[in-house]
Structure 1
Amino acid sequence: MNSVRTAADRFDGKVALVTGAGSGIGAAVAHKLAALGAKVVLADVNADAVERTAGGVANARALVMDVADADEVDRVIGGIGGLDVVVHAAGVDDPTAKQWIADAMLAGRPPEVTARLEIEAWRRVMAVNLDGTFHVLRAAVRAMTGGVIVVVGSSSAFDTPAGYPHYAASKAGVHALAQAVAKEAIAFGVRVNVVAPGPTETGMAARTPAALREAFTGAYATPAEIADIAVFLAGAESSNLVGAVLLANGGRFTV
Protein backbone atom coordinates (compact mmCIF):
# COMPACT_ATOMS: atom_id res chain seq x y z
CA MET A 1 0.00 0.00 0.00
CA ASN A 2 1.27 3.47 -0.85
CA SER A 3 2.07 5.25 2.42
CA VAL A 4 1.79 8.72 0.88
CA ARG A 5 -1.69 10.15 1.24
CA THR A 6 -3.17 12.01 -1.67
CA ALA A 7 -6.75 12.28 -0.41
CA ALA A 8 -8.20 15.21 1.49
CA ASP A 9 -7.28 13.62 4.84
CA ARG A 10 -3.54 13.38 4.38
CA PHE A 11 -2.93 15.57 7.46
CA ASP A 12 -5.63 13.78 9.43
CA GLY A 13 -4.72 13.63 13.12
CA LYS A 14 -1.87 16.13 12.72
CA VAL A 15 -1.60 19.25 14.85
CA ALA A 16 -0.30 22.22 12.86
CA LEU A 17 0.77 25.67 14.02
CA VAL A 18 0.70 28.52 11.49
CA THR A 19 2.24 31.86 12.44
CA GLY A 20 1.25 35.05 10.68
CA ALA A 21 -2.13 33.41 10.18
CA GLY A 22 -4.13 36.61 10.41
CA SER A 23 -3.76 37.32 6.70
CA GLY A 24 -1.94 36.58 3.47
CA ILE A 25 0.14 33.45 3.08
CA GLY A 26 -0.37 32.34 6.69
CA ALA A 27 -4.14 32.48 6.39
CA ALA A 28 -4.04 30.61 3.08
CA VAL A 29 -1.86 27.88 4.61
CA ALA A 30 -4.24 27.53 7.53
CA HIS A 31 -7.21 27.02 5.22
CA LYS A 32 -5.38 24.41 3.15
CA LEU A 33 -4.06 22.42 6.11
CA ALA A 34 -7.50 22.36 7.72
CA ALA A 35 -9.08 21.21 4.46
CA LEU A 36 -6.56 18.36 4.42
CA GLY A 37 -7.54 17.19 7.89
CA ALA A 38 -5.15 19.01 10.23
CA LYS A 39 -6.12 20.47 13.57
CA VAL A 40 -4.80 23.98 13.08
CA VAL A 41 -3.53 26.42 15.69
CA LEU A 42 -3.42 29.93 14.28
CA ALA A 43 -1.08 32.53 15.75
CA ASP A 44 -0.70 36.20 14.91
CA VAL A 45 0.21 39.43 16.68
CA ASN A 46 -3.11 40.91 15.50
CA ALA A 47 -5.86 39.41 17.66
CA ASP A 48 -8.76 40.57 15.51
CA ALA A 49 -7.17 39.32 12.30
CA VAL A 50 -6.35 35.86 13.62
CA GLU A 51 -9.83 35.48 15.10
CA ARG A 52 -11.33 36.32 11.71
CA THR A 53 -9.18 33.69 10.02
CA ALA A 54 -10.02 31.09 12.65
CA GLY A 55 -13.73 31.78 12.17
CA GLY A 56 -13.51 30.43 8.64
CA VAL A 57 -11.23 27.46 9.32
CA ALA A 58 -12.48 24.10 10.54
CA ASN A 59 -10.79 22.53 13.57
CA ALA A 60 -8.96 25.77 14.33
CA ARG A 61 -8.14 27.79 17.40
CA ALA A 62 -6.64 31.25 17.48
CA LEU A 63 -3.81 32.49 19.69
CA VAL A 64 -2.14 35.87 19.96
CA MET A 65 1.64 35.64 19.62
CA ASP A 66 4.32 38.21 18.85
CA VAL A 67 7.19 36.26 17.28
CA ALA A 68 9.62 39.01 18.32
CA ASP A 69 8.90 38.17 21.97
CA ALA A 70 10.99 35.09 22.82
CA ASP A 71 9.22 34.36 26.11
CA GLU A 72 5.79 34.62 24.51
CA VAL A 73 6.81 32.28 21.69
CA ASP A 74 8.15 29.74 24.17
CA ARG A 75 4.97 29.92 26.23
CA VAL A 76 2.57 29.62 23.29
CA ILE A 77 4.38 26.89 21.38
CA GLY A 78 5.30 24.99 24.53
CA GLY A 79 1.64 24.93 25.53
CA ILE A 80 0.23 23.51 22.32
CA GLY A 81 1.23 19.88 22.82
CA GLY A 82 1.55 17.12 20.22
CA LEU A 83 2.81 19.49 17.55
CA ASP A 84 3.46 17.84 14.17
CA VAL A 85 3.70 20.71 11.68
CA VAL A 86 4.84 24.33 11.97
CA VAL A 87 4.49 26.81 9.12
CA HIS A 88 6.19 30.07 10.07
CA ALA A 89 4.76 32.81 7.87
CA ALA A 90 4.96 35.82 10.20
CA GLY A 91 7.00 38.74 8.91
CA VAL A 92 7.12 42.48 8.30
CA ASP A 93 8.23 44.86 5.58
CA ASP A 94 9.10 48.57 5.61
CA PRO A 95 6.54 50.77 3.83
CA THR A 96 8.62 53.89 4.43
CA ALA A 97 11.64 52.46 2.61
CA LYS A 98 9.36 51.31 -0.20
CA GLN A 99 8.06 54.85 -0.58
CA TRP A 100 11.60 56.24 -0.71
CA ILE A 101 12.44 53.77 -3.48
CA ALA A 102 9.29 54.72 -5.40
CA ASP A 103 10.00 58.45 -5.01
CA ALA A 104 13.50 57.94 -6.37
CA MET A 105 12.15 55.94 -9.30
CA LEU A 106 9.65 58.66 -10.19
CA ALA A 107 12.40 61.29 -9.94
CA GLY A 108 14.69 59.27 -12.19
CA ARG A 109 17.45 58.87 -9.62
CA PRO A 110 18.91 55.94 -7.68
CA PRO A 111 17.31 55.22 -4.32
CA GLU A 112 19.09 56.55 -1.24
CA VAL A 113 17.85 54.51 1.69
CA THR A 114 20.78 53.13 3.67
CA ALA A 115 22.10 56.55 4.74
CA ARG A 116 18.59 57.55 5.87
CA LEU A 117 17.71 54.28 7.57
CA GLU A 118 17.17 54.72 11.29
CA ILE A 119 18.29 52.00 13.69
CA GLU A 120 14.68 51.60 14.86
CA ALA A 121 13.59 50.59 11.35
CA TRP A 122 16.52 48.17 11.05
CA ARG A 123 15.80 46.59 14.42
CA ARG A 124 12.04 46.27 13.75
CA VAL A 125 12.62 44.29 10.56
CA MET A 126 15.34 42.15 12.13
CA ALA A 127 13.39 41.59 15.35
CA VAL A 128 10.37 40.18 13.56
CA ASN A 129 11.87 38.52 10.51
CA LEU A 130 15.17 37.09 11.75
CA ASP A 131 14.90 37.03 15.55
CA GLY A 132 11.29 35.90 15.25
CA THR A 133 12.30 32.99 13.05
CA PHE A 134 14.93 31.95 15.58
CA HIS A 135 12.40 32.15 18.40
CA VAL A 136 9.89 30.00 16.50
CA LEU A 137 12.48 27.45 15.35
CA ARG A 138 13.97 27.12 18.82
CA ALA A 139 10.60 26.68 20.50
CA ALA A 140 9.45 24.25 17.83
CA VAL A 141 12.46 21.94 18.03
CA ARG A 142 12.13 21.98 21.82
CA ALA A 143 8.48 20.95 21.58
CA MET A 144 8.50 18.50 18.66
CA THR A 145 9.58 14.87 18.81
CA GLY A 146 9.29 14.63 15.03
CA GLY A 147 7.51 16.36 12.21
CA VAL A 148 8.02 19.22 9.79
CA ILE A 149 8.80 22.93 9.95
CA VAL A 150 8.27 25.18 6.93
CA VAL A 151 9.65 28.72 7.00
CA VAL A 152 8.48 31.45 4.63
CA GLY A 153 11.51 33.35 3.38
CA SER A 154 11.74 35.67 0.39
CA SER A 155 13.26 35.93 -3.07
CA SER A 156 14.62 39.28 -1.84
CA ALA A 157 17.36 37.29 -0.16
CA PHE A 158 18.66 36.49 -3.66
CA ASP A 159 17.98 39.58 -5.77
CA THR A 160 18.65 42.01 -2.86
CA PRO A 161 16.61 44.98 -4.14
CA ALA A 162 18.39 48.33 -4.11
CA GLY A 163 17.08 50.42 -1.24
CA TYR A 164 15.82 47.47 0.77
CA PRO A 165 18.94 46.30 2.63
CA HIS A 166 17.34 45.51 5.98
CA TYR A 167 14.58 43.35 4.51
CA ALA A 168 16.97 41.52 2.16
CA ALA A 169 19.44 40.92 4.98
CA SER A 170 16.74 39.69 7.32
CA LYS A 171 15.46 37.15 4.81
CA ALA A 172 18.95 36.00 3.81
CA GLY A 173 19.54 35.39 7.50
CA VAL A 174 16.25 33.49 7.72
CA HIS A 175 17.35 31.16 4.91
CA ALA A 176 20.77 30.46 6.41
CA LEU A 177 19.31 30.01 9.89
CA ALA A 178 16.69 27.55 8.66
CA GLN A 179 19.23 25.56 6.67
CA ALA A 180 21.61 25.31 9.62
CA VAL A 181 18.78 24.20 11.91
CA ALA A 182 17.64 21.72 9.25
CA LYS A 183 20.99 19.94 9.33
CA GLU A 184 20.77 19.65 13.11
CA ALA A 185 17.08 18.87 13.56
CA ILE A 186 16.86 16.06 11.01
CA ALA A 187 18.86 13.90 13.42
CA PHE A 188 15.90 14.16 15.78
CA GLY A 189 13.26 13.50 13.14
CA VAL A 190 12.30 17.10 12.37
CA ARG A 191 12.51 18.29 8.77
CA VAL A 192 13.02 21.99 8.08
CA ASN A 193 12.60 23.64 4.67
CA VAL A 194 11.98 27.11 3.24
CA VAL A 195 9.71 28.55 0.58
CA ALA A 196 11.02 31.84 -0.81
CA PRO A 197 8.21 33.73 -2.54
CA GLY A 198 8.57 36.55 -4.99
CA PRO A 199 5.98 39.35 -5.08
CA THR A 200 2.72 38.00 -3.67
CA GLU A 201 -0.70 39.63 -3.20
CA THR A 202 -0.55 40.06 0.57
CA GLY A 203 -0.90 42.97 2.96
CA MET A 204 2.73 43.79 2.22
CA ALA A 205 1.91 44.07 -1.47
CA ALA A 206 -1.02 46.32 -0.67
CA ARG A 207 1.44 48.72 0.97
CA THR A 208 3.71 48.76 -2.08
CA PRO A 209 3.56 52.12 -3.89
CA ALA A 210 1.96 52.08 -7.33
CA ALA A 211 5.20 53.10 -9.04
CA LEU A 212 6.96 49.96 -7.78
CA ARG A 213 4.08 47.69 -8.70
CA GLU A 214 3.91 49.15 -12.18
CA ALA A 215 7.65 48.69 -12.66
CA PHE A 216 7.29 44.98 -11.96
CA THR A 217 6.42 43.26 -15.24
CA GLY A 218 5.57 39.80 -13.90
CA ALA A 219 2.37 38.60 -12.28
CA TYR A 220 2.09 38.64 -8.52
CA ALA A 221 1.50 35.22 -6.97
CA THR A 222 -1.61 34.62 -4.93
CA PRO A 223 -1.28 33.58 -1.28
CA ALA A 224 -2.94 30.28 -2.23
CA GLU A 225 -0.22 29.53 -4.78
CA ILE A 226 2.52 30.01 -2.18
CA ALA A 227 0.47 28.08 0.38
CA ASP A 228 0.37 25.11 -2.02
CA ILE A 229 4.17 24.97 -1.90
CA ALA A 230 4.26 25.32 1.88
CA VAL A 231 1.74 22.49 2.26
CA PHE A 232 3.79 20.33 -0.12
CA LEU A 233 6.87 20.93 2.05
CA ALA A 234 4.82 20.08 5.15
CA GLY A 235 3.63 16.76 3.72
CA ALA A 236 5.03 13.30 3.21
CA GLU A 237 5.45 13.95 -0.52
CA SER A 238 8.54 16.07 0.27
CA SER A 239 10.08 13.56 2.69
CA ASN A 240 13.49 13.69 0.99
CA LEU A 241 13.76 17.48 1.18
CA VAL A 242 15.79 18.78 4.12
CA GLY A 243 17.22 22.30 4.22
CA ALA A 244 15.80 23.16 0.82
CA VAL A 245 14.98 26.72 -0.21
CA LEU A 246 12.32 26.60 -2.91
CA LEU A 247 12.29 29.79 -4.96
CA ALA A 248 8.67 30.56 -5.86
CA ASN A 249 8.69 33.67 -8.03
CA GLY A 250 7.07 32.56 -11.28
CA GLY A 251 10.37 32.58 -13.17
CA ARG A 252 11.20 36.20 -12.33
CA PHE A 253 14.78 35.01 -11.85
CA THR A 254 16.58 31.77 -11.04
CA VAL A 255 19.50 30.93 -8.78
Structure 2
Amino acid sequence: MSGDARQGRFEGKVAMVTGAGSGMGAAVARQLAAEGARAVVLADVNGEAVTAVAKELPDGRPVSLDVADAEAVDAAVEDVVREHGRLDVLVHAAGVDDPEVKQVIADALVEGRPPEVTDRLDDASWRRVMRVNLDGTFHVLRAAVRAMRPVKAGAIVVIGSSSVFDAPVGYPHYAASKAGVHALSQAVAKEVIASGIRVNVVAPGPTETGMAARTPAALRTGFADPRVRPYATSEEIADIALFLASDAAANLVGAVLLANGGRFTA
Protein backbone atom coordinates (compact mmCIF):
# COMPACT_ATOMS: atom_id res chain seq x y z
CA MET A 1 0.00 0.00 0.00
CA SER A 2 1.42 3.40 -0.97
CA GLY A 3 2.01 6.14 1.55
CA ASP A 4 -0.77 8.22 0.00
CA ALA A 5 -3.25 5.33 0.12
CA ARG A 6 -2.73 4.75 3.82
CA GLN A 7 -2.38 8.39 4.86
CA GLY A 8 -5.78 8.44 6.56
CA ARG A 9 -6.09 4.83 7.71
CA PHE A 10 -6.45 5.89 11.33
CA GLU A 11 -8.22 9.20 10.77
CA GLY A 12 -10.00 10.24 13.96
CA LYS A 13 -8.91 7.14 15.90
CA VAL A 14 -7.77 7.09 19.51
CA ALA A 15 -4.71 4.89 19.94
CA MET A 16 -2.44 3.70 22.72
CA VAL A 17 1.00 2.16 22.31
CA THR A 18 2.99 0.45 25.05
CA GLY A 19 6.75 0.27 24.83
CA ALA A 20 6.56 3.54 22.89
CA GLY A 21 9.76 5.02 24.27
CA SER A 22 11.95 3.32 21.68
CA GLY A 23 12.16 0.75 18.90
CA MET A 24 9.02 -0.78 17.45
CA GLY A 25 6.68 0.97 19.86
CA ALA A 26 8.06 4.39 19.00
CA ALA A 27 7.84 3.60 15.28
CA VAL A 28 4.20 2.51 15.67
CA ALA A 29 3.32 5.69 17.55
CA ARG A 30 4.93 7.92 14.93
CA GLN A 31 3.16 6.10 12.12
CA LEU A 32 -0.24 6.26 13.84
CA ALA A 33 0.13 10.03 14.13
CA ALA A 34 1.24 10.29 10.50
CA GLU A 35 -1.80 8.31 9.40
CA GLY A 36 -4.35 10.56 11.03
CA ALA A 37 -4.93 9.31 14.59
CA ARG A 38 -6.53 12.16 16.54
CA ALA A 39 -4.83 11.07 19.75
CA VAL A 40 -1.87 8.79 20.44
CA VAL A 41 -1.11 7.84 24.03
CA LEU A 42 2.48 6.64 24.38
CA ALA A 43 3.27 4.46 27.39
CA ASP A 44 6.67 3.22 28.52
CA VAL A 45 8.45 2.33 31.74
CA ASN A 46 11.10 4.90 30.74
CA GLY A 47 9.25 8.16 31.27
CA GLU A 48 12.03 10.36 29.91
CA ALA A 49 12.33 8.38 26.68
CA VAL A 50 8.59 8.25 26.01
CA THR A 51 8.22 11.97 26.70
CA ALA A 52 10.87 12.68 24.08
CA VAL A 53 9.04 10.59 21.48
CA ALA A 54 5.67 12.13 22.36
CA LYS A 55 7.06 15.62 21.76
CA GLU A 56 7.57 14.68 18.11
CA LEU A 57 3.84 14.06 17.63
CA PRO A 58 1.11 16.69 17.28
CA ASP A 59 -1.30 14.84 19.57
CA GLY A 60 1.04 12.58 21.52
CA ARG A 61 0.60 12.16 25.26
CA PRO A 62 3.30 10.36 27.25
CA VAL A 63 2.53 8.06 30.18
CA SER A 64 5.11 6.46 32.44
CA LEU A 65 3.88 2.88 32.80
CA ASP A 66 5.19 -0.48 33.97
CA VAL A 67 2.94 -3.04 32.26
CA ALA A 68 3.72 -5.53 35.02
CA ASP A 69 1.72 -3.29 37.38
CA ALA A 70 -1.90 -4.35 36.80
CA GLU A 71 -3.45 -1.41 38.65
CA ALA A 72 -1.31 1.09 36.75
CA VAL A 73 -2.30 -0.45 33.42
CA ASP A 74 -5.98 -0.32 34.34
CA ALA A 75 -5.65 3.31 35.40
CA ALA A 76 -3.78 4.32 32.23
CA VAL A 77 -6.40 2.79 29.93
CA GLU A 78 -9.25 4.23 32.00
CA ASP A 79 -7.61 7.66 31.66
CA VAL A 80 -7.58 7.30 27.87
CA VAL A 81 -11.29 6.48 27.78
CA ARG A 82 -12.11 9.26 30.25
CA GLU A 83 -10.20 11.86 28.24
CA HIS A 84 -11.04 10.76 24.71
CA GLY A 85 -14.28 8.83 25.08
CA ARG A 86 -12.99 5.60 23.58
CA LEU A 87 -9.96 3.47 22.69
CA ASP A 88 -9.91 2.30 19.07
CA VAL A 89 -6.42 0.86 18.63
CA LEU A 90 -3.93 -0.59 21.10
CA VAL A 91 -0.49 -1.84 20.06
CA HIS A 92 1.37 -3.65 22.83
CA ALA A 93 5.10 -3.51 22.17
CA ALA A 94 6.44 -3.43 25.74
CA GLY A 95 8.74 -6.29 26.69
CA VAL A 96 12.14 -7.25 28.05
CA ASP A 97 14.94 -9.63 27.21
CA ASP A 98 17.78 -10.91 29.43
CA PRO A 99 21.12 -9.23 28.64
CA GLU A 100 23.06 -11.36 31.14
CA VAL A 101 21.91 -14.61 29.57
CA LYS A 102 22.60 -13.23 26.10
CA GLN A 103 26.18 -12.66 27.20
CA VAL A 104 26.44 -16.24 28.49
CA ILE A 105 25.24 -17.54 25.12
CA ALA A 106 27.64 -15.24 23.24
CA ASP A 107 30.60 -16.33 25.37
CA ALA A 108 29.77 -19.97 24.68
CA LEU A 109 29.64 -19.27 20.94
CA VAL A 110 33.05 -17.59 20.99
CA GLU A 111 34.55 -20.45 23.00
CA GLY A 112 32.97 -23.11 20.79
CA ARG A 113 30.97 -24.83 23.51
CA PRO A 114 27.24 -25.25 24.15
CA PRO A 115 25.71 -22.66 26.49
CA GLU A 116 24.77 -23.76 29.99
CA VAL A 117 21.85 -21.66 31.13
CA THR A 118 18.89 -23.61 32.48
CA ASP A 119 20.57 -25.05 35.56
CA ARG A 120 21.99 -21.63 36.42
CA LEU A 121 18.88 -19.57 35.71
CA ASP A 122 17.67 -18.09 38.98
CA ASP A 123 14.08 -17.47 39.99
CA ALA A 124 14.46 -13.69 39.82
CA SER A 125 15.56 -13.78 36.17
CA TRP A 126 12.73 -16.14 35.26
CA ARG A 127 10.11 -14.05 37.06
CA ARG A 128 11.36 -10.75 35.61
CA VAL A 129 10.90 -11.96 32.03
CA MET A 130 7.56 -13.62 32.76
CA ARG A 131 6.27 -10.67 34.81
CA VAL A 132 6.85 -8.15 32.05
CA ASN A 133 6.35 -10.20 28.90
CA LEU A 134 3.50 -12.53 29.85
CA ASP A 135 1.83 -10.96 32.89
CA GLY A 136 2.19 -7.54 31.28
CA THR A 137 0.48 -8.73 28.11
CA PHE A 138 -2.41 -10.11 30.15
CA HIS A 139 -2.78 -6.81 32.01
CA VAL A 140 -2.80 -4.82 28.77
CA LEU A 141 -5.19 -7.17 26.95
CA ARG A 142 -7.61 -7.22 29.87
CA ALA A 143 -7.65 -3.43 30.20
CA ALA A 144 -8.07 -2.92 26.46
CA VAL A 145 -10.95 -5.41 26.25
CA ARG A 146 -12.67 -3.68 29.17
CA ALA A 147 -12.43 -0.39 27.25
CA MET A 148 -13.47 -1.76 23.86
CA ARG A 149 -16.21 -4.27 24.67
CA PRO A 150 -18.86 -1.69 25.61
CA VAL A 151 -18.60 -0.07 22.14
CA LYS A 152 -18.20 -3.46 20.39
CA ALA A 153 -15.23 -2.33 18.33
CA GLY A 154 -11.46 -2.11 18.49
CA ALA A 155 -8.19 -3.54 17.25
CA ILE A 156 -5.38 -4.89 19.43
CA VAL A 157 -1.98 -5.87 18.09
CA VAL A 158 0.58 -7.63 20.26
CA ILE A 159 4.29 -7.84 19.46
CA GLY A 160 5.35 -11.46 20.00
CA SER A 161 8.54 -13.12 18.77
CA SER A 162 9.80 -15.61 16.23
CA SER A 163 11.67 -17.21 19.15
CA VAL A 164 8.39 -18.98 19.92
CA PHE A 165 9.01 -21.14 16.85
CA ASP A 166 12.77 -21.68 16.81
CA ALA A 167 13.22 -21.68 20.64
CA PRO A 168 16.81 -20.37 20.71
CA VAL A 169 19.30 -22.51 22.63
CA GLY A 170 20.00 -21.05 26.06
CA TYR A 171 16.99 -18.71 26.09
CA PRO A 172 14.23 -20.80 27.69
CA HIS A 173 12.57 -18.08 29.77
CA TYR A 174 12.27 -15.62 26.90
CA ALA A 175 10.95 -18.23 24.46
CA ALA A 176 8.48 -19.50 27.06
CA SER A 177 7.25 -16.00 27.87
CA LYS A 178 6.61 -15.18 24.22
CA ALA A 179 4.96 -18.56 23.57
CA GLY A 180 2.60 -17.68 26.39
CA VAL A 181 2.00 -14.28 24.79
CA HIS A 182 1.02 -15.92 21.49
CA ALA A 183 -1.32 -18.47 23.11
CA LEU A 184 -2.87 -15.86 25.38
CA SER A 185 -3.47 -13.47 22.49
CA GLN A 186 -5.03 -16.15 20.30
CA ALA A 187 -7.31 -17.38 23.08
CA VAL A 188 -8.48 -13.84 23.78
CA ALA A 189 -8.90 -13.20 20.04
CA LYS A 190 -11.36 -16.08 19.67
CA GLU A 191 -13.35 -14.83 22.63
CA VAL A 192 -13.59 -11.12 21.90
CA ILE A 193 -14.26 -11.19 18.17
CA ALA A 194 -17.89 -11.78 19.18
CA SER A 195 -17.73 -8.28 20.67
CA GLY A 196 -16.23 -6.76 17.53
CA ILE A 197 -12.67 -6.66 18.87
CA ARG A 198 -9.83 -8.05 16.76
CA VAL A 199 -6.62 -9.31 18.38
CA ASN A 200 -3.59 -10.30 16.29
CA VAL A 201 0.14 -10.86 16.80
CA VAL A 202 3.32 -9.88 14.96
CA ALA A 203 6.23 -12.27 15.56
CA PRO A 204 9.41 -10.40 14.55
CA GLY A 205 12.77 -11.95 14.00
CA PRO A 206 15.97 -9.93 14.53
CA THR A 207 15.04 -6.24 14.44
CA GLU A 208 17.11 -3.10 14.93
CA THR A 209 15.93 -1.80 18.31
CA GLY A 210 17.56 -0.68 21.52
CA MET A 211 17.25 -4.25 22.71
CA ALA A 212 19.11 -5.48 19.64
CA ALA A 213 21.79 -2.85 20.10
CA ARG A 214 22.59 -4.43 23.46
CA THR A 215 22.97 -7.88 21.91
CA PRO A 216 26.59 -9.09 22.10
CA ALA A 217 28.48 -8.97 18.82
CA ALA A 218 28.91 -12.74 18.65
CA LEU A 219 25.15 -13.24 18.69
CA ARG A 220 24.52 -10.51 16.14
CA THR A 221 27.07 -12.15 13.85
CA GLY A 222 25.25 -15.44 14.25
CA PHE A 223 22.09 -13.80 12.91
CA ALA A 224 23.91 -12.54 9.80
CA ASP A 225 22.87 -14.96 7.07
CA PRO A 226 23.38 -13.91 3.43
CA ARG A 227 20.49 -16.15 2.37
CA VAL A 228 17.89 -14.01 4.16
CA ARG A 229 17.09 -10.36 4.70
CA PRO A 230 19.20 -8.52 7.27
CA TYR A 231 17.82 -7.21 10.54
CA ALA A 232 14.41 -5.62 10.03
CA THR A 233 13.95 -1.98 10.88
CA SER A 234 11.50 -0.95 13.57
CA GLU A 235 9.52 0.85 10.88
CA GLU A 236 9.10 -2.35 8.88
CA ILE A 237 7.65 -4.16 11.88
CA ALA A 238 5.47 -1.14 12.66
CA ASP A 239 4.05 -1.34 9.12
CA ILE A 240 2.96 -4.93 9.77
CA ALA A 241 1.46 -4.07 13.15
CA LEU A 242 -0.54 -1.20 11.69
CA PHE A 243 -1.76 -3.32 8.80
CA LEU A 244 -3.20 -5.70 11.42
CA ALA A 245 -4.78 -2.78 13.25
CA SER A 246 -6.32 -1.36 10.08
CA ASP A 247 -9.62 -2.15 8.37
CA ALA A 248 -7.66 -3.89 5.60
CA ALA A 249 -7.09 -6.77 8.05
CA ALA A 250 -10.76 -7.12 8.99
CA ASN A 251 -10.71 -10.86 8.36
CA LEU A 252 -7.58 -11.53 10.41
CA VAL A 253 -8.42 -12.70 13.94
CA GLY A 254 -5.90 -14.48 16.14
CA ALA A 255 -3.30 -14.40 13.38
CA VAL A 256 0.41 -14.65 14.15
CA LEU A 257 2.37 -13.03 11.32
CA LEU A 258 5.94 -14.31 11.25
CA ALA A 259 8.18 -11.41 10.22
CA ASN A 260 11.69 -12.82 10.32
CA GLY A 261 13.02 -12.06 6.84
CA GLY A 262 12.93 -15.67 5.69
CA ARG A 263 15.06 -17.23 8.44
CA PHE A 264 12.49 -20.01 8.79
CA THR A 265 8.80 -20.65 8.24
CA ALA A 266 6.29 -22.00 10.72
Same fold (TM over 0.5): yes
Which of the residues 219, 230, 247 maps onto 1:236? 247
Misfit runs of 4+, over 6 Å: none
How big is the shift at 1:6?
Answer: 3.1
How big is the shift at 1:57?
Answer: 1.6
Contact 1:153 1:175 in 2 (8 A): yes
Which secondary structure does the structure 2 equivalent of 1:79 belong to? Answer: helix
Contact 1:35 1:58 in 2 (8 A): no
Counterparts of 2:94 and 2:186, CA distance in 1 = 18
Deviates more, 1:56-65 or 1:176-185: 56-65
Alignment of 1:80 with 2:80, yes or no, is yes
Percent identical residues = 70
Contact 1:41 1:62 in 2 (8 A): yes
Which of the residues 121, 126, 131 maps onto 1:127? 131
Instruction: Tell me: CA distance 1:61–1:115, structure 2 relative to 1, closer, same or farther (3 Å).
Output: same
Which of the residues 145, 158, 171 maps onto 1:151? 158
Which of the residues 77, 89, 93 maps onto 2:93? 89
Contact 1:150 1:192 in 2 (8 A): yes
Residue 67 of structure 1: aligned partner? 67
AA paired with 1:16?
Answer: A
TM alignment of 1:242-253, pairs within 5 A:
242-253=253-264
Residue 168 of structure 2: aligned partner? 161
Counterparts of 2:156 and 2:6, CA distance in 1 = 22
- CA RMSD, aligned part only? 0.9
Counterparts of 1:188 and 1:79, CA distance in 2 = 22
Alignment of 1:101 with 2:105, yes or no, is yes
Counterparts of 1:79 and 1:57, CA distance in 2 = 19
TM alignment of 1:1-255, pairs within 5 A:
6-38=5-37, 39-81=39-81, 82-144=86-148, 145=151, 146-218=153-225, 219-255=230-266
Aligned residues: 251
Unaligned segments of structure 2, at least 5 residues: none
Which secondary structure does the structure 2 equivalent of 1:74 belong to? Answer: helix
Which secondary structure does the structure 1 equivalent of 2:232 belong to? Answer: coil
Contact 1:126 1:166 in 2 (8 A): yes
How big is the shift at 1:7?
Answer: 4.2
TM-score, normalised with respect to structure 1: 0.97
Counterparts of 1:178 and 1:95, CA distance in 2 = 26
TM-score, normalised with respect to structure 2: 0.93
